[in-house]
Amino acid sequence: MTNKISPESILDAIKSCVPNDRDFIGLHEPHFSGNEWAYVKECLDTGWVSSVGKFVDQFEEKLAEFTGVKRAVAVVNGTAALHVCLKLVGVEANDEVLLPTFTFIATANAIAYCGAIPHFVDSEEKTLGLDPLKLDLYLKDIAEIRPEGCFNKYTRRRIKAVVPMHTFGHPVDLDPLVELCLRYHLELVEDAAESLGSYYKGRHTGNWGRVSAVSFNGNKIVTTGGGGAVLTNDHSLAKWAKHITTTAKVPHKWEFYHDQIGYNYRLPNLNAALGCAQFEQLPLFLQKKRALAKRYQEVFKTIEGIRCFEEPEFALSNYWLNVLLLNEEQAEMRDALLELTNNQGIMTRPAWTLMHKLPMYKECPRMDVSKAESIEKRLINIPSSVF
């Protein structure tokens, strides 16, 4: 059976998949049903709320174990994690860094914090992430490999790194990207902010780049209130990450000596306590989110002209945020759909405004980004909390 597409039929389809006993269904609400109160209370009772305490170490260990990386370094948020990642791989002022134009603002901002220049890449519909084949063709045209690295023939700047992002938790196509990075001498830094619990060909996202960033903001799959982490398999980079995120202070019984410009990016123990409790529930969250995604996928198969995003064969996604994609011909229905659902207490959101359209990034270099522009017009995120 197929139903005719309309904002009303789409609203009904969403409603049939989410609880019907509430006035308001958010896009992604945090879920605290484990040891959150106990662990946070322990912090308060012992006075270890800030930059020292056992929960930070525990949180880092759990994170490394879960993602399969050798080391995780907890920081204040995902944006700070990205900033540190870029520093660690040697991104410097006036370098160019490749990233999808279809991403959250933090990816571009972290590059700008380094004094580097975001260089925007198109996305593909199969993953909603950076299109590695299109990037390869583009680099064939613009890149020149020299002993000192990869250079942009047209701007003469060094191209230092690529930052793919796993959009709404869905893994980007990593194999061709890893290969491309080797060929062009580019550092691979994953923005895995949204993809905790997502795997590409059996290996966790964030375990492919030399360094990767995750986020534990309030709307992510597990939260520390605000928080993030740097993931890496390189012990010396992890050590350096710890050092520069803790003001680059050289350990000493009483001296305050800092050997470089560091950052106060360390995750407070209080936030880590929340994170430890959240982490215990991650397997349950993942299970529930897959079940919700399945329900959406089934019901949207009955409506023509729209589809619910499904993971490609190489991916196991955390389904952090479920995605509806209207067909090209239905794209103009998007705003009416946003209007109706939000008025009815079902929170939905459009795609982020593409980075190259924002005032501070509109002059940055970019390739043809027509696919990202098409996706931007047709995409809607629908409620994806743990129900």
Ligand X SMILES: *Cc1c(COP(=O)(O)O)cnc(C)c1O
Which residues are at the interface with ligand X (CB under 6 A)?
77-79, 103-104, 106-107, 165, 191, 193-194, 215, 217, 228
Output the smallest distance, CB 218 to ligand X, in A. Answer: 9
> How far is Cα 26 from Cα 77, in angstroms, rounded to an integer?
22
216: Cβ–Cβ under 8 A, 6 or more apart, which residues?
Answer: 78, 222, 223, 224, 225, 226, 227, 228, 229, 271, 275, 278
Give the nearer residue to ligand X in terms of CB position, either 104 or 387: 104
CA contacts within 13 A on the Cβ side of 209: 30
> How far is Cα 99 from Cα 191, in angstroms, rounded to an integer?
10
Percent helix, percent strand, percent coil in the chain, to nearest 5: 40, 20, 40
Give the nearer residue to ligand X in terms of CB position, either 80 or 324: 80
Output the smallest distance, CB 330 to ligand X, in A. Answer: 26
92: Cβ–Cβ under 8 A, 6 or more apart, which residues?
Answer: 114, 115, 116, 160
Give the nearer residue to ligand X in terms of CB position, either 217 or 281: 217
Give the nearer residue to ligand X in terms of CB position, either 107 or 348: 107
Give the nearer residue to ligand X in terms of CB position, either 30 or 228: 228
Give the nearer residue to ligand X in terms of CB position, either 106 or 130: 106
To 10 degrees, the CA torsion angle through 326, 331, 337, 342? 90
Structure tokens at 17: 């998949």
| Number of residue whose CB is nearest ligand X | 78
Output the smallest distance, CB 78 to ligand X, in A. Answer: 2
Q: Identify the H or E element spanning 375.
A: helix 370-378
Q: Specify whether the CB–CB gap between 223 and 217 falls below 8 A.
A: yes
Output the smallest distance, CB 165 to ligand X, in A. Answer: 5
Output the smallest distance, CB 299 to ligand X, in A. Answer: 26
Output the smallest distance, CB 131 to ligand X, in A. Answer: 17
User: Beta strands of 183-303 (E only): which ranges?
Assistant: 187-191, 199-200, 203-204, 211-215, 228-232
Output the smallest distance, CB 264 to ligand X, in A. Answer: 15
DSSP string, 171-197: PP-HHHHHHHHHHHT-EEEEE-TT-TT
CA angle 143, 148, 153 (to 5 degrees): 25
Give the nearer residue to ligand X in terms of CB position, either 36 or 190: 190
Nearest to 138 by CA among 157, 115, 119: 119
Q: Specify whether the CB–CB gap between 183 and 177 falls below 8 A.
A: no
Give the nearer residue to ligand X in terms of CB position, either 14 or 165: 165
Give the nearer residue to ligand X in terms of CB position, either 5 or 274: 274
Name residue 22's amino acid. Answer: R
Output the smallest distance, CB 324 to ligand X, in A. Answer: 18
Output the smallest distance, CB 1 to ligand X, in A. Answer: 36
Where b means 16+ CB within 10 Å and e means fewer, 146-171 reads eeebbbbeeeeebbbbbbbbbbbbbb
